[in-house]
Amino acid sequence: MKKSTQRIIIFASLIAAIALFVLFLSDILVPFIRMEIANDVEGAKALLVDKGILGFLSVVLVEALQMVVVFIPAEFIQISSGLSYPFWIALLLCDFGVCVGATIIYVLVNTFRFSNKAYEKNEKKIEKLAARVKKDRGTQLLLYLLFIMPLIPFGAICYYGSYRKMKYSRYIFTVATGVIPSIVTSNLMGMAARYFIGNDLPLWLLVLIVVLLAGVLLAVLFLFLNKVFLRQNAGTPDSVFYTGFFGALHRLYRGRVRLHVDDALIRDLPTPYIALCNHQSFFDMYYTNRLFQNAKANPSYVVNKHYISHPLIRKAGIKAGVIPKKLFYPDISVPVQIMRMLKKGYPVIIFPEARLSVEGRSYPIVDKSATFYRRLKTDLVIVKIRGSYFAKPKWRKRFFRTDVSVSAERVITKEQIAAMTDVELNRLIDEALAYDASEEPIGVYRQKDKAEGLENILYRCVDCGALYTLKGVGNELTCTACGKTHRLNDNYLFEDEPFSIGAYYAKIGALEKAEIQDLCLQTDVKTVIYHDAGKYKTKEKGYCTLTGDGFSYRSERDSFTIGFDALPALPFSVNAEFETYHNGDLYYFYPVENRRQVVRWALIVDLMKELRDGETQE
């Protein structure tokens, strides 16, 4: 069939589906709801009797045509039919409509070789899922799996089944029975809404019913997938836990930013490989997952071990195939887990900076891993995220809806890696991942509160040198000691020197570096200690000190000192705490007074490392 003819069929189906739905809405659903509100039960029944065949046909044809078009959600007509008709009638009408649509698709595909762009966009998702199911289970059981997973439109599934050359009788039986759980759920939601409209059901009970129905459906779906179809995928990125986590993440955050994805280099890249990515935002894991939607395999992630320290979360994380790592602390199990995941054929994503950018510039990579990458004998993919820092930096509470891009920038082949020295490869990785958000703004930021919270990282005035005197109000950062104000423009740049957040932070670093030899930071802290991989924690009060000799901590229970050779960095949460490991335990230190100082402690440790590295090179 010619492409132009295919487009005409899709366009005509779309117009017809919309027109029929509007007809159903105006002639049946809206008058029916009005009668329900007026408690006119007899009038409502008479309306449905009067519109009988027309109403039935409308439901069936809308359901059928949305299947052909693919991208119109089926829930609209299913919930509407549940609102208008008794449950068993709504169920039969919707199921029959699905069968009619599935039959049209079967004829179009097998007789006219019809193709649908909306289906083609979902085809790789289906093929990816098909690869996760045991091959001996066949197309029919795969279709059942697809129908009960709330990820792919019914129409796309029917196109897939039609292209597999199934017998029509087997195909239509699978469709008719496979869609029942979803239709039942939508119809019940419509029925609950009808009782609510008729004043027979309080709002809280309506909400509770909808939540419970969704919860029961998801629970049954989860158990079915985990115990039957995807049991063999536990502990990998093909597990139900992985799919569920990123599916929920996508529904929560897909509208937060305008995400631009460039996956051309990895779409057909053979697996496995290592992907290295810069780290600007807490949501970078979500952005990179969207990048890999059309890759040959889902990626595994190396993640901060503390994020999955809770026993239940840790169990789910391990089943999802994540690789936990203690930040800036030797952990020999991590390389082993990475090699195992690569051996299974999955890409592994690593954020080599290991912490979020504080001022929009990339952190130097502390753990140089060229030797390890060369030993793996796999390709390296360089992934770059742009715009995520200004969308949601670690110092700001509010999420700005703006442009974010994620792209596979470069593939360094294993042959190229073998020809490099460790020094050359480390330098190449550093240069490829280096990024300054202020130098590459990808959007315009017209928000009126861009400076709010900025004083939590820009803790020192670069004009007068005063500590903790800056205050961000609206788009202005003002020093209460000298009165100097720096204003941010719509490119998130200061209108005068030092022009960018990164440059301001660097100037603070220069002021600190000039005084670092005689510096001594001290603070009382409330300490939370996570023991034995997070199985339990203790709390105590203590005292922290940072000098040129290293970092020290003492309390009634314990005391220790960590020299800078063993303290590559001091991760922190803005205006909250700084942290480090000691003897395998994770210590969170919360200053009793002025928690803004945590960024200063972290910066001093970075400067000390910079000085040590300079002395080593000399």
In a domain, 481, yes or no: yes
pLDDT at 50 (0 to 100): 66
89-95-101-106 Cα dihedral, nearest 10 degrees: -150
54 with 27: CB under 8 angstroms? yes
| 3-state DSSP assignment of residue 197 | helix
Min mean pLDDT across 83-92, 279-288, 524-533 is at 83-92
Instruction: State the CB neighbour count (10 A cutoff) for residue 276.
Output: 23
pLDDT at 569 (0 to 100): 92
Residue from 32, 65, 34 nearest 155 by CA: 65
pLDDT at 225 (0 to 100): 61
Over range 74-87, report the average pLDDT. Answer: 70
Min mean pLDDT across 98-112, 147-161, 358-372 is at 147-161
- Residue 302: strand pairing partners: 323
Of the residues 222, 248, 272, the one at which a domain ends: 222
What sign for the dihedral angle of Cα 440, 442, 447, 453?
A: negative
Residues 397 and 460 in one domain: no
Residues 162 and 253 in one domain: no
pLDDT at 503 (0 to 100): 95
Buried b (16+ CB within 10 A) or exposed e, 427-449: ebbeebbebbbbeebbbebebee
pLDDT at 251 (0 to 100): 77
Of the residues 433, 466, 498, the one at which a domain ends: 433
Residues 357 and 483 in one domain: no
Residues 266 and 326 in one domain: yes
Q: 3-state SS string over 149-175?
A: CCCCCHHHHHHHHHHCCCCHHHHHHHH
Over range 241-265, report the average pLDDT. Answer: 85
Residue from 461, 347, 359, 443 nearest 403 by CA: 443
Residue from 266, 278, 252, 275 nearest 405 by CA: 278
Over range 249-264, report the average pLDDT. Answer: 87
pLDDT at 218 (0 to 100): 66
- Our count of domains for the chain comes to 4
**Which is more confidently placed, 382 or 86?**
382
pLDDT bracket for residue 435 (50, 70, 90): very high
Could you tell me which residues come within 8 angstroms of residue 9 by beta carbon, excluding any fewer than 6 positions away? Answer: 68, 108, 114
In a domain, 191, yes or no: yes
Return mean pLDDT, the chain.
83
Is the predicted pLDDT of residue 417 greater than 50, yes or no? yes
Of the residues 510, 530, 557, the one at which a domain ends: 510
pLDDT bracket for residue 511 (50, 70, 90): very high
Is the predicted pLDDT of residue 77 greater than 70, yes or no? no
Q: What is the pLDDT of residues 551-602, one digit of tens each?
A: 999 999 889 999 988 898 999 999 999 999 998 899 999 999 999 999 999 9
Is the predicted pLDDT of residue 454 greater than 90, yes or no? yes
In a domain, 449, yes or no: no
Q: What is the pLDDT of residues 8-35, one digit of tens each?
A: 666 676 676 667 656 655 666 556 556 5
In a domain, 441, yes or no: no
Residues 362 and 413 in one domain: yes
Over range 256-263, report the average pLDDT. Answer: 91
Residues 122 and 157 in one domain: yes
Tell me the pTM: 0.72
Q: 3-state SS string over 516-584?
A: HHHCCEEEEEEEEEEEHHHCEEEEEEEEEEEECCEEEEEECCCEEEECHHHCCCCCEECCCEEEEEECC
| 3-state DSSP assignment of residue 411 | strand
Over range 485-502, report the average pLDDT. Answer: 94
| 3-state DSSP assignment of residue 436 | strand
Place of tokens 């199911």: 133
For residue 63, is it left (φ>0), alpha (ψ between -120 and 50) or beta? alpha
Distances from the Cα of 181 to the Cα of 44, 94, 147, 208, angstroms: 28, 12, 9, 19
Residue from 543, 506, 542 nearest 521 by CA: 543
pLDDT at 473 (0 to 100): 94
Residues 408 and 359 in one domain: yes
pLDDT at 148 (0 to 100): 72
- Report the CATH number at residue 416: 3.40.1130.10
357 with 279: CB under 8 angstroms? yes
Is the predicted pLDDT of residue 616 greater than 60, yes or no? no
In the chain, % of residues over pLDDT 70: 77
pLDDT at 162 (0 to 100): 85
Residues 31 and 171 in one domain: yes
Place of tokens 């994620």: 406
**Which is more confidently placed, 190 or 472?**
472
Residues 505 and 524 in one domain: no
Is the predicted pLDDT of residue 484 greater than 90, yes or no? yes
Over range 514-525, report the average pLDDT. Answer: 91
pLDDT at 42 (0 to 100): 58
327 with 571: CB under 8 angstroms? yes
Q: Give residue 83's identity as a one-letter amino acid code.
A: L
Residues 490 and 529 in one domain: no
Q: What are phi and psi of 537, to 5 degrees?
A: -140, 155
Residues 421 and 500 in one domain: no
Residue 414 burial (10 A CB sphere; 0-12, 13-18, 19+): middle
Q: Which domain holds residue 559?
A: 519-617
Q: 3-state SS string over 75-121?
A: HHHHHHHHHHCCHHHHHHHHHHHHHHHHHHHHHHHHHHCCCCHHHHH
In a domain, 49, yes or no: yes
| 3-state DSSP assignment of residue 268 | coil
pLDDT at 331 (0 to 100): 83
Over range 270-278, report the average pLDDT. Answer: 95
In a domain, 229, yes or no: no
Over range 405-417, report the average pLDDT. Answer: 95
Over range 331-337, report the average pLDDT. Answer: 90
- Report the CATH number at residue 610: 2.30.29.30
pLDDT at 555 (0 to 100): 94
pLDDT at 618 (0 to 100): 45
327 with 355: CB under 8 angstroms? yes
Q: Return the ∠ at Cα 238 (arms to 234 and 240), rounded to 5°.
A: 65
In a domain, 227, yes or no: no
Over range 376-401, report the average pLDDT. Answer: 93
Min mean pLDDT across 74-88, 280-294, 324-338 is at 74-88
| 3-state DSSP assignment of residue 303 | strand
Kindly report whether the peptide bond that precedes residue 498 is cis, defined as omega within 30 degrees of 0. yes
Over range 192-200, report the average pLDDT. Answer: 63
Residues 297 and 345 in one domain: yes
Instruction: State the CB neighbour count (10 A cutoff) for residue 310.
Output: 13
In a domain, 187, yes or no: yes
248's enclosing H/E stretch is helix 240-253
Is the predicted pLDDT of residue 214 greater than 80, yes or no? no
